[in-house]
Amino acid sequence: MSDHDTSLRTPIVAVLGHVDHGKTSLLDKIRGSAVSDGEAGAITQHIGATAVPLETIADMAGDLVEVEDFDLPGLLFIDTPGHHSFSTLRSRGGALADIAILVVDVNDGFQPQTEEALDILQRTGTPFVVAANKADTTPGWNPVENSPIKPSYDGQSDVARQRLDENLYEIIGQLSDDGFSADLYWRVQNFQKNIGVVPCSALTGEGVPDVLAVLMGLSQRFMKAEMEIDVEGPGEGTVLEVKDEQGFGATLDVVVYDGTIKEGDQIVVGGVNDPIVTEIRALLQPQPNAEIRVENRFERVESVAAAAGVKIAAPDLDEAMAGAPVRVVRDRAVDDVIEEVKAELAEI
Ligand code: GTP
Ligand code: MG
């Protein structure tokens, strides 16, 4: 990710939607992994984070995304569970998001957690694209692996295309009932005013280039709006999980959404009881395109700038809490930062 301006903050993309609609599979297609296959009961039970470099996105998107057109290092994807019992994790994922993908199974259409995800996006004012996934399951579908959707769609039999259209218009109608003006993405001019619906398949890769192209367009807008963010400032993040790691004891998987975190920094972390004040012993970064939730090869780094997923090793983290804030103290009074963390904990 080194060719690009590193003072720009990487946009955070949340992937939201109903259980089994294909969120993890879509991410697997983008990052070239098979995380979904390894999940217990085939459902996601934690929030994940994956840094996908711009080069990977451009490779995947073919002609639709050119590296030269974008001045950002890549995207940080946040995977969320769709099962109804994980609504806290969905809100947490939504709260971190700058932009989002709402994944909807084209055959299954809108379901309770699709509505829930839409509520989160509406509440947080997060721009999003709809991935109308599993288009390949349309009866009579003739797959074109990894193709942009338009040529694949245009090349289908009339019957297959009409069946898909019916499902797509059902989704567009549901979005409209919920107050969103939406259309097939190739008819949308302004993706912040109108929601683009992209037929796609996480299995065959069709339409995935288009999902990425729309996301990159939304990121570009987001970057313009958020130019002033100071990625050099004291880091701020959210704990995804507290995990024991051999040789380190309790560690934190964290999404850093603002500023920079450095080895040796004093941090304040929300705990089961009082906020924990400790000093970072090691910062461990997953490989590009790796899901922090399942990765076991980490690179030790001296600092990490937002947005990024990183594992923090430090003393006294046993009582740290998933969902809690992490704040770097740097040149502020530690008591002020403790109060900040307490205030934020009171809100969640
Ligand atoms: P949760 O995280 O538990 O909410 O599920 P998810 O949305 O991450 O769904 P996941 O990616 O685990 O996929 C669920 C099932 O649908 C798996 O068996 C996938 O192989 C299958 N699947 C996902 N996307 C597609 C697709 O585009 N086409 C087809 N045919 N199957 C798909
Ligand atoms: Mg999943």
pLDDT averages per 10-residue partition of the chain, 348 residues? 60 97 98 90 92 96 94 94 94 95 98 98 95 98 97 97 98 97 95 93 98 94 67 93 94 96 98 97 96 93 96 98 97 97 91
What b/e readout covers 251-265, taking b as 16+ CB neighbours within 10 angstroms? Answer: bbbbbbbbbbbbbeb
Q: Identify the pLDDT of residue 348.
A: 75
Residues contacting ligand 1 via CB (< 6 Å): 17, 19-25, 36, 42-44, 81-83, 133-134, 136-137, 201-203
Cβ atoms 162, 179 nearer than 8 A: no
What confidence score (pLDDT) does residue 221 get? 80
Report the C-alpha gap between 279 and 326 in whole angstroms.
12
Q: Kindly report whether the global pTM for this prediction surpasses the value 0.80.
A: yes
Q: Identify whether 307 is preceded by a cis peptide bond (ω within 30 of 0).
A: yes
Q: List all residues 6 or more positions away from 257 whose beta carbon is below 8 Å from its beta carbon.
A: 12, 96, 236, 237, 238, 306, 307
For the CA of 36, the closest atom of ligand 1 is 12
Name the strand (E) or helix (H) holding 140: none
Pocket probe for ligand 1: among 15, 18, 20, 113, the residue whose CB has the most ligand atoms within 8 Å is 20
Query: Which bound ligand lies closest to the C-alpha atom of 43?
Result: 1
Distance of alpha carbon 225 from alpha carbon 99, whole angstroms: 12
Q: What is the pLDDT of residue 2?
A: 41
Per-residue pLDDT, 230:
67
Give CA–CA dist 236/268, Å, rounded: 10
Atom of ligand 1 nearest to the CA of 200: 27
Can you give the pLDDT at residue 12?
Answer: 96
